[in-house]
Amino acid sequence: MNEQLDTLLSETRRFPPPPAFAARAAATETLYHAGRDPQKFWEEQARSLDWMSPWTEVLVWKPPHARWFTGGKLNAAANCLDRHLAGYRKNKPAIIWEGEPGDQRVLTYAELAREVGRCANALKSLGIRRHDRVAIYLPMIPEAAIAMLACARIGAVHSVVFGGFSAESLRDRINDAQAVAVITADGGYRRGQLLPLKRFADEAIAETPSIKHCIVVRRGREAAVSLQGDRDHWWHELLERASPNCEAEAMDAEDLLFILYTSGTTGKPKGIVHTTGGYLTQVAATTRYVFDLRDDDVFWCTADVGWVTGHSYVVYGPLANGATVVMYEGAPDWPERDRFWSIVGRYGVTILYTAPTAIRAFMKWGTAHPARHDLSTLRLLGTVGEPINPEAWIWYREQIGGGRCPIVDTWWQTETGGIMITPLPGVTTTKPGSATVPFPGISAELVDASGRALERGGGFLTLTEPWPGMLRTIYGDDERYQQTYWSRFPGRYFAGDGAKLDDEGYWWILGRVDDVLNVAGHRIGTMEVESALVDHPSVAEAAVVGKTHELKGQALAAFVTLKEGKQISPSLKDDLKEHVVRKIGAIARPDDIIFSADLPKTRSGKIMRRLLKDIAEGRALGDTTTLADPAVVNRLKEMYEDKES
């Protein structure tokens, strides 16, 4: 075990903070000292928000339930908007948006505040109130941020469902949260095609009795959508009639801000619950220090708002800091493979935050694309979502960052709300492939399979103290919350990731050790895909495993046994893939379908995924170009599973 890890520890390149960057950086060494008293540290961070009434206690910790800033009242939308309107930021761009076809919109803070006010009043006019759940199923258009902030303004709880998810996924999420309204669009552009979101929403709503209203943004120029009676409303008609002034509700720090569904190890996605005060404190603080945010920055986080990265670092974190954010609707290779660099050049992006899977694609596409554009405005680069292999890190630094920009490799999860392990640019010396050290005020510990703390070597990443942005529960299923996160290593939050600690205490995240795969930076539960497959009339049994993929990190390989009498027709593989897309969404489309008469099982009937994984990996097993060396992750998985069974 340790020999294997030693090979990973051979990365010797070090990148100390560039002195010129350090001289002006928002974070200094003192931040780490301050973080040694987490409660005091976070209380200090909370003070940078606008509160309507102060908290009485910083933290109430009844493991595994935390309440932060109890008694305090605030409004997340007011923190992202109103407090910037008094001074010069009023006319500062809040959102610079570009649609895939090339259309553009700039919303200043004053304009964004007016749109949010109108949307908030429109929601109220439909009878939507505090604590009601509202599903948001939109493409990456400004209305997505407007809708989220409008919900926050009136105290409604948003549940954003990624526009790439299927009608059935939307239906299940609406039903789980009992949402009363859904906000969607006639469509969104992806590689030149208009994705018919309203049609999917209609399919979903046919089986969601809780939905009373559907609000439709007109995105396509002539997309034909049918609006139904009292239920459906055009966004632009509702907002036209609504006043831009809407008083922000005073919300308790622990009132729900949003629910966001994420894949777990069972077939049913979990509704991760985030509340208002602690979440906003953490995302605002991490945006400020991890991204070294300054008033003249142009900040571009390329994530879709359908994922947590979009929630925390497109909307809440940057807007709470009064930053200018860039939002882009479509694909990075549309119409050409230089679309990102053309955006960076044209808007003068200074901070870019993207995923390793995208960086690997850019590497493959070649340096000619970035070289055609002026990237000299960039001063800081970030990555998130999966382990980054050192070669991709170096390429990002040289080809995109011109060798001058620090890189922040940030580890966190939907559940953590905000960034947890990351360098502080200007302070932390970085190593390619390592997320470095916990953010101030965050306590992480490596443990072995029996839960013993380890000083170095390989093991499991756990968090030992509550943090403000932590999930509060799983919506409607607190039992599952306790079971999933707090039972494997009692007294600790277990993130599901394998990791190693080097001699200098740096973290190297290796990847998931549970039945969750990370495909192109997206979490996909193997059980979800298996349930989708066995739902097909020909399938008796299915087992899904991840296999190493050059660009996506992992890809899905599905082993399928057919029901008695069912034949393998020439089109069956494609039918099965399409079936999964229809049930879950295109992100879950298996790369390989392997028909098999039987699946290998243990005596107790558990599918032996390890064996299947070996088959799926084939020769790729020895591939050492990725940091998340499958051999090491597999070894950790074995340790994890042995203990489980």
Which stretches of the chain bind ligand WTA, using CB under 6 A?
Answer: 262, 307-309, 384-387, 409-414, 435, 495-497, 509, 511-512, 518, 523
Task: Give min distance, CB of 312 to ligand WTA, in A.
Answer: 8
Q: Which is nearer to ligand WTA, 134 or 435 (CB)?
A: 435
**Residue 643 · residue 450 · CB < 8 Å:** yes
What stretch of H or E contains 132?
Answer: none
Closest distance between ligand WTA and the C-beta of residue 486, in Å? 16
Whose tokens are 């630094």? That residue is 397
Which of 320, 509 has the CB closer to ligand WTA?
509
**Rounded to an integer, what is the distance from CA 379 to the centroid of its chain?**
23
CB of 461 to ligand WTA, least distance (A): 8
CB closer to ligand WTA, 345 vs 553: 553
Structure tokens at 232: 């459906």
Nearest distance from residue 539's CB to ligand WTA, in Å? 28
Whichever of 112 and 305 has its CB closer to ligand WTA, that residue is 305
Q: How far is the CB of 422 from ligand WTA (least distance, A)?
A: 8
- To 5 degrees, how large is the angle CA 83–CA 298–CA 93? 45
Helix (H, G, I), strand (E, B) or coil at 61: strand
Least distance to ligand WTA from the beta carbon of 355, Å?
A: 9
DSSP string covering 574-590: HHHHHHHHHHTBGGG--
Q: Which helix (H) or strand (E) is 161 found in, with range?
A: none
Smaller CB distance to ligand WTA: residue 466 or 521? 521
For ligand WTA, the closer CB: 523 or 613? 523
Q: What is residue 100's DSSP assignment?
A: T
The distance of closest approach from Cβ of residue 410 to ligand WTA in the complex, given in angstroms and rounded to an integer, is: 5
Element (H, E) at 414: none
* Residue in the structure block whose two tokens are 């050049």: 345
Q: In whole angstroms, what is the distance from residue 409 CA to residue 420 CA?
A: 11
Contact 212, 126 (CB under 8 A): yes
Q: Report the residue number, 361 or 384, with the smaller CB distance to ligand WTA.
A: 384
Q: List C-alpha distances in Å: 191 to 101, 334, 335.
A: 9, 6, 7
- Minimum distance, C-beta of residue 333 to ligand WTA, in the bound complex (Å): 22
Distance CA(524)–CA(518), nearest Å, equals: 6
Q: Tokens 């930076």 belong to which residue?
A: 521
Q: Which is nearer to ligand WTA, 66 or 301 (CB)?
A: 301
Output 28 or 464, the one with its CB closest to ligand WTA: 464
Q: How far is it, in rounded angstroms, from Cα 10 to Cα 182?
A: 51
Q: For residue 254, which of 413, 466, 464 has the smallest C-alpha distance? A: 466
Q: How far is the CB of 221 from ligand WTA (least distance, A)?
A: 33
Stated as kind and residue range, the H or E segment containing 524 is strand 522-525
* Residue with Cβ nearer ligand WTA (114 or 472): 472
Q: Please, what is the minimum distance in Å from the beta carbon of residue 620 to ligand WTA?
A: 19
- Scored b (16 or more CB within 10 A) or e, 160-183 reads bbbbbbbbbbbbbbbebbebbbbb
| Cβ-based neighbours of 533, under 8 Å, separated by 6 or more | 539, 542, 544, 558, 560, 576, 579, 580
